[in-house]
Chains A and B, each alone.
Chain A
Amino acid sequence: MEKEKHLLELCNVSVGFPQKGKKMNPVTRGVSFYVREGEALGIVGESGSGKSVSMLACVGLLGGGGRVLEGNIRFLNGEDYIILNTMTQKELEAVRGDDIAMIFQEPMTSLNPVMTIGRQVEEMLLLHGDCPKEERKKRVLAMLSEVGLPDPQEIYGKYPHQLSGGMRQRAMIAMAMILRPKLLIADEPTTALDVTIQAKILELLKKFQKEYGTTIILISHDLGVIRSVCSRAVVMCGGKVVEQGDVGTLFEQPQMDYTKRLLAAALGKGSVLKKEPAVCRGEAIVCVRDYSVFYEEKLDGKKRKREVVKKVSFDLCAGETVGVVGESGCGKSTLAKALAGLNPLTSGSADISCENPQMVFQDPYGSLNPAKTIGWLMTEPLRLHHVGTKEEQRAAVCEMLEKVGLGREYYGRCPKTLSGGQRQRVAIAMAIMLKRPFLLLDEPVSALDVTVQEQILILLVKLQKEFGLTYLFISHDMNVIHRICDRVFVMYQGEIVESGDVDEVFRNPVHPYTKKLLGARL
């Protein structure tokens, strides 16, 4: 029996990067998987699992001195295999674009900011094969309309910064697909996009797979994304392939512990973390009435106030967790920042029963001062408010470090040496050092891997019980909201369009936008 031929095969591939003073440091070890012609393969894993590196190795774009240490990457070219990892860059250039195309997570940085969209897509035709000028433009326009960009004529002459994130990603796909490559590698193509746009981009990928028989390798940390596009999936962890198989079997009957954990955390199958719902004892801790938040904008040299949050009103009771959900630009973060007092341009009233409410930010890499130690950072709120003597402050910080699950040995460490999850623990600890009862959480888990997300959510619930905290939890992720919140506000274009009990809203969404958000949930 003849062996089945696969479009791309990785056999025992290890990729390494040079490390100071040592030999090559392998980041993936013995990775083997294949993709059949015309199928969609998903590669799942957390950051640092080696999923992107493996695919970059296939197209020879490793960078940073990285290279394939052992193993073969074979690509079916006609009847025979070519070995990609032994080819020179020159030879690879012919394969890239023609046979293998790639799209990346951040469409803004993968497009050249000083070239028009049309020119960039056309560049592909210029570099590969000869095509007369008029036909090139025709093909580009056809491609642009094929990826669903409205008014291709106009888009053709626009620059990347004039397009929205979703449109940019469509332009990227147009660039990748114009040569009809056999294989399209999509590296987290929808991670930077809002959920409703995400669904449309995935539809587009599916369309190409169906119509042109394009083989797709989709790299994502989001199992929902993988499930909606791919028929088979590879689970990677710590540079190794943990499990692979059909998406159906893999997701229904995962064999390995890691896959099970990933699934539990990601697919919203995770248990609802809040067991007993908070009972509203009548007294509101936060009382917001007709609250508007403005941004100052410069338009044609004139300063103008733009209303970002439009007359919202709500109450928060002590001890409850209220989610605010919506897409980027809907004003949810602006609302949180204004409530924290970071934006003075407001109207209406917001009565918060405690002084300076604290906030936890999305990006734990930016919210901790890199020049200070953890101990110094956590002592800062106490120092600023003259709480206790030096010894008492130190003791309080050490106690808090234990409470957030880090331990006192972290006192003298620098933020640089901590992982994202650990940093977020420190940020949370800093925010509750002053024991204020109200805490604003601005996408506190969005920048973290799913398993780490899980731990942070558990920590938040634990701390809430212990200190009787009230959370305003801002997120774009419906699953997370569902798991941790008592009530939810849905924000759309600066207004709260729907609010109510989480279970109730999830079961019977009323507003069309809420339905759309829930429908996009995979």
Chain B
Amino acid sequence: MKQGRGQSNTKNWNMVIGIALVSVVLLFVVVGLFWTPYEPTAMSAALKNKPPSLLHPFGTDYMGRDILSRVMDGAGRTFLISIVTVAIGLTAGVLVGAFTGYYGGIVDEILMRLNDTLTSFPSILLAIVFVSLIGTGEYNIIAVLGVVFIPSFARVVRSEYIVQKELDYVRNARLLGAGNLRIMFVHILPNTRPILLSTITIGLNNAILAEAGMSYLSLGVQPPNASLGSMLSEAQTYLLSAPWFALAPGLMIVFTVLGFSMISENIGKKNG
């Protein structure tokens, strides 16, 4: 009895904490869209590397820019990049997965071997190779990461379609006269929602980390614009002399990733 009740409680707490963490980050992002305490790119020689104070709650960086403002602005950019990235990966992945899983055969073989090839490299490495081909920058990062994310979605969707297409409700729909496209996207697709939801949250996590990684390697968002990753990268040199510089963007990433993980785990459990 105790065990049973305990289980359901921890489940709920996971969800609550996850949502709370993500909401904190979202609050920063949303407010940052309209208002930041200072101009995120405004430099000041007098304010270089100042520790947190009332005027600058998170301190200032090596160019005297207000870190709070930059985190608010940068988190928004990171979020935008990861959401668009996941959207690209999701759309293309669902299309590829649906067609290959539903039809099977030779197209499935070709696309899935291509998929395997893509997944056999670490995604970050693959992204770096692509970026070196098409150049750095915010939009390029979005395009590259989007493509790199396709395989993970395609695979999940495909395996789900393989299972679902054999179920009687699909046969029933065919008997009623529904065409293949309608069966694929009106009848089967809603049934992949639970598994897609948890894949999306994991995908968002990976996208945020990937963006941070790329920007950290200065392949992504270019200065003077801020993103969480580029801020971390800039902070690296000052880790000992100005630790608050890395603290704010680092915490932001930890909050988001942890929050999304907790939410996705809970979604997975609920459906599992």
Contacts and interface: CB of A to CB of B under 8 A. Distances in A.
Contact of A342 (B5, B8, B174, B187): B174
Contacts of A370: 169, 191
Contacts of A371: 190-191, 193
A369 B174 contact: no
Contact of A363 (B168, B173, B174): B168
Given A361-B168, A367-B168, A18 B175 contact: no
A384 B187 CA distance: 13
B8 to A, nearest CB: 5
A372 interface: yes
B157 to A, nearest CB: 15
Nearest to B170: A369
B1 A358 contact: no
A361 B176 contact: no
A21 interface: yes
A361 B190 contact: no
B172 interface: yes
B171 interface: yes
Interface string A17-38: 1111101100000000000000
B137 to A, nearest CB: 40
Given A18-B1, A369-B191, A430 B176 contact: yes
Contacts of A237: none
A356 interface: yes
A490 to B, nearest CB: 26
B27 interface: no
Contact residue range for chain A?
20 to 34
Contacts of B190: 369, 371-372
B256 to A, nearest CB: 30
Contacts of B167: 366-367
* SS class, residues of chain A in contact with chain B: loop
Contacts of A341: 175
A381 B177 CA distance: 7
B178 A358 contact: no
A368 interface: yes
A359 interface: yes
Contacts of B176: 356, 358, 380-381, 384, 430, 434
Interface in B1-35: 1, 3-5, 8
A62 to B, nearest CB: 12
Contacts of A67: 1
B1 A24 contact: yes
Nearest to A433: B176
A65 to B, nearest CB: 4
B168 A342 contact: no
A340 interface: yes
Contacts of A20: 8
Contacts of A367: 167-169, 171-172
A384 B171 contact: no
B169 A368 contact: yes
B185 to A, nearest CB: 12
A20 to B, nearest CB: 5
B1 A369 contact: no
Contacts of B5: 18
A281 interface: no
Contact of A380 (B4, B168, B173, B191): B173
Contacts of A507: none
B127 to A, nearest CB: 34
Contacts of B172: 359, 361, 367-368, 427, 430
A385 interface: yes
A380 B173 CA distance: 8
A243 B225 CA distance: 79
A385 B177 contact: yes
Contacts of B177: 356, 381, 384-385
Interface in A376-407: 380-381, 384-385
Interface of A: 17-21, 23-24, 65, 67, 337, 340-342, 356-359, 361, 363, 366-372, 380-381, 384-385, 427, 430, 434
22 contacts: A19-B4, A21-B8, A24-B1, A342-B171, A342-B174, A356-B176, A356-B177, A358-B176, A359-B171, A359-B172, A361-B168, A366-B169, A367-B169, A367-B172, A368-B172, A370-B169, A370-B191, A371-B191, A381-B176, A381-B177, A430-B176, A434-B176
Given A340-B175, A369-B173, A434-B176, 17 more contacts: A18-B5, A19-B4, A21-B8, A65-B3, A337-B171, A342-B174, A356-B176, A359-B171, A359-B172, A366-B167, A367-B169, A367-B171, A370-B191, A380-B176, A427-B172, A430-B172, A430-B176
